[in-house]
Chain A
Amino acid sequence: MTAGDPTETHGTDRQAARERGFRLLAGTVAGLFAAFATLGAVFLWYDSTARWVTHTHLVRAGITDVMLSLTEAESAQRGYLLTGDANFVARLDKAKQDTEASLQAVERLTRDNPEQQARIARLKGQMALRLGVIDQTVAARRTAGDAVAAIRIIREGRGVASMAEIRRIIAEMDVSELRLEADRQRRAAAIRTLVVLSMAGFAIILALLFIRAQRDLSLDREAEAENGERLRKLLADRTLLLDEVNHRVKNSLQQIASVVRLQSRNVKEEEARDALEKTLARIMAVGRVHEQLYRAGGVVGAFDAGQYAESLARELVESLGDGVDLETEVEPAQLDLRQAVPLALILNELITNALKYGRSPDRPCTIRVTFGTQGEDFRLSVSDNGAGLPDGFMPKSHKSLGMRAIDALARQLQGRFLVEEQEVGARFAVVFPRSTA
C-alpha cells in the first residue's frame, strides 16, 4: 500500500484509537482500584478509632467499679462494727476481692497510659492503707466484743484521709479518661465524615464512568449507523452509475448499428453491401458481449465464454445458414474481461467464414463449435464439412480481412491461430493462455 492510501490512513487511525481506548481502560481500572483501597483504609481507620472510644468507656466503667467496691467494703465494715454479725465480714471479704479485681482490670486497660499507671500506683498505696485500717477496726471489734476500740481507731482519721485521697485520685483518673473520650469521639466523628465523603466520591466516580461508557457506546452506534448509511448510499450511486453507463453503451451501439444498416440499404454494389453487413455482424458480436456482461448482474469482470460461444453460434447459424446443422461442445468457463471482446470477434469471423466457405453442394452442411480448456490454455475451434482448404492456404498472407483479423486478435490474446487439415472440410482453432497476466 502506498502512503496516500486512504484505507491505510483509516487503519492507522483505528489502531491509534484502539490503543488510546486500552490506555484509558487501564487508567480507569487502576483509578478504581486506588479509590477502593482508600475507601477500605479510611473505613479501617474509623473502626479502630471507634474501638478506642469503647476502650475509654471500659476504663471509666472499671474506675467506677473500683469506687463502688471500696464503698461496699466501707459499708460492710460499718455494719460489722455496729452489729458484730459475721455475715458482714464475709461481705467485706467479697468487696475487697472485687476492689482488687476491678483495679487490676483498670491497670490492664491503661497499660498504654503512663499518667494513669502512675495514678494507679498511688491509688494502690492509698487503698492498702484504707483496707489496712478497715482490717484493724474489724480485728478490734472482734477481740473487744464491742465497737469502742474500733471507733477509737477510726477517730485517728487515717482511714478517712486515705479515703479522701482515693476519691481525689479516682476523680483525676476519670477526668483524664473523660478528656480522652472527648478527643477520641471527636476524631471518630471526623473520620466518619471522611468515610461518608469517600463513599460519595466513589459513587460519583462510578456514576461518571457509567455515563461515559454509555455515551461512548451511543457514539459508536451513531458512527456505525452513519458508516452504514454512507456505504448504502455509495452502493446505490454505483448501481445507478452502472445502469446509466450500460444504457448509454447500448444506445451508442444501437446508433452505430442503425447507421451502418441504413448505409448498407443504400449501396448498390453487392461487395460494398456485403462489407457493411459484415461490419454490422461484428458490431453485434461486441454488443452481445456487453449484453452478457451486464446480465451477469452483480459479478462484474466475469464473462462466461462457453455460454457466449453457444448462443452466438446458434444465432449466426439461424440467421445466415439455411439448412445448416450446428453441433456445439462447450464448457462453461469464466474469462477475463479483457479476453471477452477479442474472443467474440474471432468466433464471429470463424462462424461467418464456415457458413460462407464450408458448404459442399453434395452433402448437408454441419458446423461444429467447441470451446474448453486444454492444459493451461483455452481452445476454441470451428470446423465444417465443406470442400476443405485450398492448397497452400496461409492465413497471414491471405488477403481477406477476416483471416488477418483472426490472426491479429489471437496474438492479442497471446495465443495462436491454427489451421488444421482434416479428412473432410476445414478446422480453425485459436489456443490462448487462461490468464493473460
Chain B
Amino acid sequence: MTMRIMVVEDDALIALDMVSLLEDLGHEVVAEAADADTAWDLAEQGKPDLALVDIRLAKNTDGGQLARQLYDRLGVRSLFVSGSITEDFRQAMATINPIGFLGKPVTRRTLGEALSSAAY
C-alpha cells in the first residue's frame, strides 16, 4: 500500500536517492528536510504516515529528538537510517515505537523490507 513519507536527510544526493527508491517502491514522498526544525514544521503542516530519519542532521540537530517529538506530538513513527546505530540508541528509542533501524549503505531490498513491516 502506498504511504505518505517524509525524508529527513542532510546529504542532498543521499536524500535524492532515498526519494527515488521510495517512489520506485510505490510510496509518495510528501516532504524533504535536511534539519530537525524544518522537518518539524513540514510534519506539522502535512502530517506524513511515517518519517525516514537520519540521526545526524544539518545545523547540528538530532534525528533522535526529532523522532521522539514526531511520535509524542503527532503519532508519526520513524524509520532510522544511519551509518552508526549503537545499542544505546536502540534502547533509548524503544519507547517511541520506531519502525526500524537501517544501517547505511541502504539497498532497495533492505529499504523495502523495513517499510513492509510498517504497512499496517
Say if A and B assemble together: yes
- A residues whose Cβ falls under 8 Å from a Cβ of B: 243, 246-251, 253-259, 261-262, 265, 283-284, 287, 291, 315, 318-319
Q: Which residue of A lies closest to B18 (CB)?
A: A258
Asked if B26 is at the interface (CB within 8 A of a chain A CB), the reply is no
Question: Is residue B16 contacting chain A, with contact meaning CB distance below 8 A?
Answer: yes
Q: Quick one: given A257-B105, A262-B20, A284-B107, are A248 and B13 in contact (CB under 8 Å)?
A: no
B17 within 8 Å of A by Cβ? Answer: yes
Give how many A-B residue pairs fall within 8 Å (CB-CB). Answer: 62
Contacting residues, chain B, for A265 (C-beta < 8 A): 20
From A316, which residue of chain B is reached at the shortest CB distance?
A: B109
Given contacts A243-B86, A246-B84, A262-B17, A254 and B107 within 8 Å (CB-CB): no
Mask: chain B, 8-44; 1 = CB below 8 Å from A; 0 = not:
0001011011101100000000000000000000000
A319 contact set on B, CB distance < 8 A: 107-109
Check if B105 sits within 8 Å of A246, measured CB to CB. no
- On whether A318 and B109 interact (CB within 8 A), knowing A254-B104, A255-B13, A259-B13, the answer reads yes
A318 to B113, CA, bound (A): 12
Interface size on B, residues (CB 8 A): 20
- Contact: A246 with B16, CB < 8 Å? no
Bitwise, B69-103 to A at CB < 8 A (1) or not (0) is: 00000000000001110100000000000000001
Residue of B nearest to A290 (CB): B105
Q: Hey, which chain A residues are within 8 Å of B114, CB to CB?
A: none
Give chain B residues whose Cβ lies under 8 Å from the Cβ of A257.
17, 105-107
**A243 and chain B: residue at smallest CB distance:** B84
Closest chain B residue to A294, Cβ basis: B84
Q: Report 28 cross-chain contacts, Cβ distance below 8 Å, ordered by A residue.
A: A243-B84, A246-B83, A246-B84, A247-B83, A249-B83, A250-B83, A251-B11, A251-B14, A253-B104, A254-B83, A254-B104, A256-B105, A257-B17, A257-B105, A258-B11, A258-B14, A258-B16, A258-B17, A259-B13, A259-B17, A262-B13, A262-B16, A265-B20, A284-B105, A284-B107, A287-B105, A319-B108, A319-B109
Among the interface residues A253, A261, A315, which one has the most CB atoms of the partner chain B within 10 A? Answer: A261
- Closest chain B residue to A318, Cβ basis: B109
Nearest residue (CB) in B for A257 is B105
